[in-house]
Chains A and B, each alone.
Chain A
Amino acid sequence: MSAAKVSRREFLRSGTLVAGGLVIGLRLPALSAAEEAPGLGAGVFAPNGFVRVGTDEAVTIIVNKSEMGQGIYTSLPMILAEELEADWSRIRVEAAPVAPEYNHTVFGIQLTGGSTSVWSSFDQLRQAGAMARLLLVAAAAQAWGVEAAACRAENGFVLHSASGRRLSYGQLADRASTMPAPIEVALKNPKDFKLIGKPMRRLDTPAKTNGTAVFGIDVKRQGMLTAVVARPPVFGARVKSFDARKALAVPGVWHVVQIDAGVAVVADGFWPAKRGRDALEIVWDEGPLAGLDSQAQREQYAELAQQPGAVARREGDAAAAMGGAAKRLEAVYELPYLAHATMEPMNCVADVRPDGCEVWTGTQFQTGDRDAAAQAAGLPPEQVKLHTTLLGGGFGRRAVFDSHFVREAVQVSKTVKAPVKVVWTREDDIRGGFYRPAC
């Protein structure tokens, strides 16, 4: 297990083993400015950016990966709660804001993808949970005037076996907030794991069976309008001219605005916006890709496949072995361009104001989307607040290098000076979205 390897390296560096646990140098980011801002007053113990314990006993775990069906809003909390010795029934999950401490530990940007979330977060979240546990134990020891070593944490309580006393994490939250941050922490021995490696029910299931789960497309803001965008019929085409009169005649349509992606019809809701979009008359400059032909492209790829390619690894003499083989098998594999077809059509809500921009969307790529929103809004990235919602499927469709679905929402909101939700129709995404590469 890669996590064990890293832990061992950490162990060798600090070189201490106590009470059956691994003591490691703490390498956790401090609480971010983004986290410190709202709602954090008295009554909350927030030792690092990944966990808060309230005097109401709620344990909130902040998850920096996007939930798109893979169960990450359960598996990452399990890792932290394991080391925290938290009461699993008290766990709540919150999506992380965009901040450097929430970057992927390997990729260095805030992104969910490549089946990397659990292993790349494993050590970090164990440390975060262990640090919080250590401070809660220290707080209890101080309250009782006993050695911390004589106390232990279990299921949301710190216990002092010798005297039979116990205090809940909620009761300890205030005092724990005043304890100095440790430099190193002891991790649990994996043989003592109670959550990790055990089948657990998903925390997000109830909300997904009564209609309360909030996906990007479900976000509601005061005064919000909905936009449907006419995008080019050919990749790379540009709007030459358009006539908005029929679109504007649709009841409920308020604005028709040109943006980089095409022409957006902005209305009270999706239906008038779509009717308005369908009534638009647009003349396109189809550009250099107008003549692109699937058959010609396929032939070109087949021809290119005959050329020598990049060598990823060379071992032995493949050519000689093939030459001397009794039986040779040849096969041609082709993959077409494919729409990812996320069950939830693409969408994004943006609210651009002169002094800041807020974005709500189901995204896999927070860093890129935040920066794209800032650029489109003409604001510094610090003035963009991006809220990650649940994703109705990701598959890479929601981790796109140009963040186009975020940019267009920001552009429309900035132009009409109101919060705007841009919704793609299913056809919009199939016809002109961001495809899986062909080969």
Chain B
Amino acid sequence: MITLQVNGRKYDVDVDPSTPLLWVLRDTLGLTGTKYGCGMAQCGACTVHLEGEAVRSCVTPVSRAAGKKITTIEGLSANLSHPLQRAWIEIDVPQCGYCQSGQIMAAAVLLRENARPTDTDIDDAMAGNICRCGTYPRIRRAIHRAAELLAERGRR
């Protein structure tokens, strides 16, 4: 039995310890917001936070996540209030939407580490997240917008 802490909730799961965290989230816990894209850490669709760091859940054995804090897209906010979600909606970033959970989770770590990223900072930090629809220009704008929203929140 492995104990997981996902989005502030505890779960005991009975799975093979080598199972990638992605499939425990999706198939065992039913948290399908985290997506399967490639299974080999090449596309970023499965990005979640492990102790606040962005990890590719498709290549992270669940044993590595045992006892640690995991945040998925479902846990980012209860009501779409996270600055990234607000910016994503304001700028209408997604098209098909399949990669966007991973994009948002990757962007959240970027903004925590760099409150005012430049275009280059964004492109570098987001290079591991692929979007087949090509929403990159809007992702960039939305990250800038989220940085503004965060700054406003900080001033208040």
Contacts and interface: CB of A to CB of B under 8 A. Distances in A.
B27 interface: yes
Contact of A344 (B35, B74, B77): B35
A360 interface: no
A218 B74 CA distance: 14
B45 A210 contact: no
Nearest to A395: B132
A185 B27 CA distance: 50
Given A204-B94, A345-B36, A211 B101 contact: yes
B27 A208 contact: no
B127 interface: no
A329 B74 CA distance: 57
A211 B96 contact: no
B34 interface: yes
Nearest to A67: B96
B88 A343 contact: no
Contact of B20 (A205, A271, A423, A425): A271
Contact of B27 (A269, A342, A393): A269
Interface in A220-259: 220, 226, 251-252
A288 interface: no
A343 B133 CA distance: 9
Interface stretch (A68-76, A145-153, A408-416): A68-76
Given A270-B26, A270-B36, A426-B39, A205 B93 contact: yes
A208 B97 contact: yes
Interface in B18-75: 19-20, 23, 26-28, 30-40, 43, 45, 72-74
Interface in A364-402: 390-394
B80 A343 contact: no
A229 B28 CA distance: 21
Contacts of A210: 33, 73-74, 76-77, 80, 85
Given A205-B92, A220-B32, 17 more contacts: A71-B95, A206-B80, A206-B89, A207-B97, A210-B33, A211-B74, A213-B97, A215-B98, A270-B36, A271-B15, A271-B23, A343-B98, A344-B37, A393-B132, A394-B96, A426-B37, A426-B38
15 contacts: A68-B96, A205-B93, A209-B104, A210-B76, A211-B31, A211-B34, A218-B32, A270-B27, A271-B15, A343-B96, A343-B133, A344-B96, A391-B96, A393-B133, A425-B39
